[in-house]
Amino acid sequence: MKTGKLTFYAALSCLIFFTACVDFIYRTVIVDQVTIKFDPRGGTECEEIVARHGETLTLPVSVRSGYSLTGWYSDSLRGDRYGTGGGEYIAEKSVTMYARWSRDLDVGDRDSTISGIPVVRVLAGTGTFIMGSPEDEAGRYFDEVQREVTLTRSYWISKYPVTNFQFGKSAPAAEVNHPVTGVTWDEALNFAASMGGRLPTEAEWEFAARGGNDRHGYLYSGSDVLDDVAWYDANSSGTTHTVGQKQPNELGLHDMSGNVFEWCSDWYGYHTEAPVTDPQGPTSGPGRISRGGAWDRPARDARVADRAYSDPNERNDNVGFRIVFSVE
């Protein structure tokens, strides 16, 4: 009887030991080894990666003509973002990552690219233009006082509003080239600085929106027919749109009217009729200037002369920005 018990306990001990060994082998050989596969969705193929659990990997860069890789995701449409090509990823489990792509924005013959941002050169020189609106302009607000403005320095300005993709904001695949919104004034300023640029002054913005002309020009940026150049409340279907779908103004700039308001560097304040040179705006005010109208605003707000402002700390779904770079 005693011998039987010993035999039973010995067998039980062996079983426990064997189970522990199997569990150890499973955990070290199977669980601690993960496989990362990649579906490039039309891009160049990427080899799968076999790694240890917790190992830091570098995600591959796939290439597709006419497109930019926005990142690797858990599915091809709306899944979680694992990271971008060339970025780090900590291996936690075996997964298949799917590439998402955004169609490259057009860069024309007279344009350039700075820090990956398509830009257009605005030749200011020593010319002047009339900022503001005449008193008989339809939809005019009282704060659009006309004044003669001289800009002495030429500059580059981004051809389109900064997009979700350029800003690095996660978005559904169909919206990666929509203007980024929900960005505070400081965040816009800091992003512009990280690219080597800045936000435009209100005068620089309006001069560019007027096509770099020293004449009064169109009511909207590039046309007197708003539907030709802008997304606004009457045609937007209640949302932002991919940049560059409407016709550009004389400089080749898109979406200066409509789609989203755009942060400028100035504080809001009233203008006088006195001529000014390279104005920077007041040193304080009730909010920071934003210009251009938006997808949820009426035609009146898409006029080139319209002036709006917001608390710089607000995150609005109809306010974005574009960047200015100095001409060396």
Q: Which pLDDT tens digit goes with each residue over 54-64?
A: 999 999 999 88
**Alpha-carbon torsion 252, 258, 264, 269, what sign?**
positive
Task: Report, in this order, helix, strand and coil percent for the chain, each rounded to 5.
Answer: 20, 25, 55
Q: Is the pLDDT of residue 4 over 70?
A: no
Q: Is the pLDDT of residue 20 over 50?
A: no
pLDDT in tens, 265-316: 999 999 999 999 999 999 999 999 999 999 999 999 999 999 999 999 999 9
Q: Is the pLDDT of residue 2 over 60?
A: no
b/e code 212-246 from CB counts within 10 Å (16+ = b): beeebbbbbbbbeebeebbbbbeebeeebbbbbeb
Element (H, E) at 102: strand 95-103
* Percentage of the chain modeled with pLDDT above 90: 68
- Residue 81 has a pLDDT of 80
CATH placement of domain 111-326: 3.90.1580.10
Average pLDDT over residues 215-227: 90
Q: Is the pLDDT of residue 233 over 70?
A: yes
Q: Is the pLDDT of residue 155 over 90?
A: yes
Fold of 33-103: Immunoglobulin-like (2.60.40)
pLDDT confidence band for 260 (50 / 70 / 90): very high
Contacts of 316 (CB under 8 A, 6+ apart): 181, 182, 261, 310
pTM score of the predicted model: 0.72
Q: Is the pLDDT of residue 6 over 80?
A: no
The average confidence (pLDDT) of the chain is 87
- Per-domain residue ranges for the chain? 33-103, 111-326
Using an 8 Å Cβ cutoff, are 295 and 179 in contact?
no
- Residue 185 has a pLDDT of 98
Average pLDDT over residues 159-182: 93
Could you tell me where the DSSP H helices lie in the chain?
2-25, 164-167, 185-194, 202-209, 226-229
Using an 8 Å Cβ cutoff, are 225 and 249 in contact?
no
Reported for 127-133, long-range contacts at CB under 8 A and 24+ positions apart, including other chains, are 127/151, 127/214, 128/214, 128/275, 129/206, 129/207, 129/210, 129/213, 129/214, 129/215, 130/214, 130/215, 130/216, 131/203, 131/206, 131/207, 131/271, 131/305, 132/271, 132/305, 133/303, 133/305
- Residue 67 has a pLDDT of 74
Q: Is the pLDDT of residue 262 over 70?
A: yes
Across 212-322, the runs of DSSP E, i.e. the strands, are: 261-267, 276-277, 288-291, 308-310, 319-320
Pairing state between β 319-320 and 276-277: unpaired
Q: Which two tokens stand for residue 297?
A: 């605003």
CA–CA separation, 167 and 31 (whole Å): 37
**Alpha-carbon torsion 231, 218, 252, 307, what sign?**
negative
Query: CA end-to-end span of the chain, whole Å?
Result: 98
